[in-house]
Amino acid sequence: MDVRDPKQWVVDGLLLSVVTVWGLNFSIIKFVYRDIHPLAFNALRFVVASIAMLLLMKWRGSSFHIDPEDRPAFLALGVIGHTIYQFFFMLGLERTKAGNAGLFMALTPIFAYLVGVAGKRERFNPAVMAGIILSLIGVSIIVLFGSAEVSFGSTWAGDLLMIAAAFCWGTYSGGASRLAIKYGAVRLTVLTTVAGTAIMVPLSAPWIVRQDWLSVSFPVWLGFLYATFGGIVYSYFIWAYALGKVGVAHTAIFSNITPIIALLAGWIVLAEQLSIPQAAGVVLVLTGVFIVRALKPLPIPEE
């Protein structure tokens, strides 16, 4: 794909908007945890998001049809990318530091690319892998020299959950590209989200029942709306759209820009100082993103 293609710049802009939403979402979700248990919160927001998505799909007049041979793949992606991923992410975020969470989620592009290669969605390219690893090193520097708390040892359970979450989201991203091309971003996102929610809600039922919903404050409900409509509905549609348009590696690498968004927010809003190592980390992340973005996808040989 030609890097001068204006359509690619549009996709890049949309992906930047998604990582901005997700960059703010870490802090907002932590705030929501003050009044709502993580599993009760997640189940409710996915129910609301699923209803909103189904209404949008109905309004668009989109087809709900899935070819029989693709139905197991839709179900698997829904369970891995929404049910299991969300359990790991929510419980991991509760049990680890914000810096750890950002660091381990930066493994997502590696998992996504390797899954895409294994599933023959993309051909392995050492330069692409080098770009992904370069961005991971940049994220590590930004996080380790940043103001976000980082701790290794005492938070090992949460850290392992975050690594598992990164693997699940990488698997979803790597496995969804073919279906995104065939069915479109709307149908893929809605039906996998609904499938994942249908499994998630019964598993979360004990926490939903025990939650005192009447005690939830108005600011927390605002955070809930942001995490639902920004973090899920908007972001998931754009992510699936990008997977279908520019591929797994190009899409997934943008997730490593999230720490840069958090860094800029701290600099602008909180007047935090940008250290020289962090500036170097930003350069490494952006260099890695540019490498992956600039390289043309290598064709899969016909079998």
Residues 196-214 have pLDDT tens digits of 999 999 999 999 999 999 9
Residues 99-115 have pLDDT tens digits of 667 677 778 888 888 88
> Per the domain annotation, does 218 fall within a domain?
yes
Residues 216-243 have pLDDT tens digits of 999 999 999 999 999 999 998 998 888 8
Q: What pLDDT, on the 0 to 100 scale, is given for residue 150?
A: 53
H or E stretch at 223: helix 218-225
> Per the domain annotation, does 71 fall within a domain?
yes
> Per the domain annotation, does 247 fall within a domain?
yes
Neighbouring CB atoms inside 10 A of 71's CB total 12
Q: Is 274 exposed, middle or buried, given 0-12, 13-18 or 19+ CB atoms closer than 10 A? A: middle
DSSP E strand boundaries for 191-285:
none
Q: Which of 39-53, 140-154, 262-276 holds the top average pLDDT?
A: 39-53
> Per the domain annotation, does 163 fall within a domain?
yes
Q: What pLDDT, on the 0 to 100 scale, is given for residue 240?
A: 86
Q: Is 30 exposed, middle or buried, given 0-12, 13-18 or 19+ CB atoms closer than 10 A? A: middle
Residues 138-197 have pLDDT tens digits of 877 877 776 555 555 566 777 788 889 989 988 888 888 788 888 888 888 899 999 999
> Per the domain annotation, does 138 fall within a domain?
no
Token output for 99: 């810096």
Query: Do 15 and 251 touch, CB atoms closer than 8 A?
Result: yes
Question: What distance in Å separates the CA atoms of residue 284 and residue 290, rounded to the nearest whole number?
Answer: 10
Taking the mean position of all CA atoms in its chain, how far away is CA 172? 10
> Per the domain annotation, does 271 fall within a domain?
no
Query: Do 120 and 300 touch, CB atoms closer than 8 A?
Result: yes
Q: How many domains does the chain have?
A: 1
Q: What pLDDT, on the 0 to 100 scale, is given for residue 254?
A: 84
Question: What distance in Å separates the CA atoms of residue 184 and residue 64, rounded to the nearest whole number?
Answer: 11
> Per the domain annotation, does 275 fall within a domain?
no
Residue 262 binned pLDDT confidence (cut-offs 50, 70, 90): low
What is the domain range of residue 155? 6-129+149-255
> Per the domain annotation, does 274 fall within a domain?
no
Q: For a pLDDT cut of 90, what percent of the chain falls above it? A: 30
Local structure of residue 255 (DSSP, 8 states): G
Tell whether the model's pLDDT for residue 125 goes beyond 90. Answer: no
Neighbouring CB atoms inside 10 A of 143's CB total 26
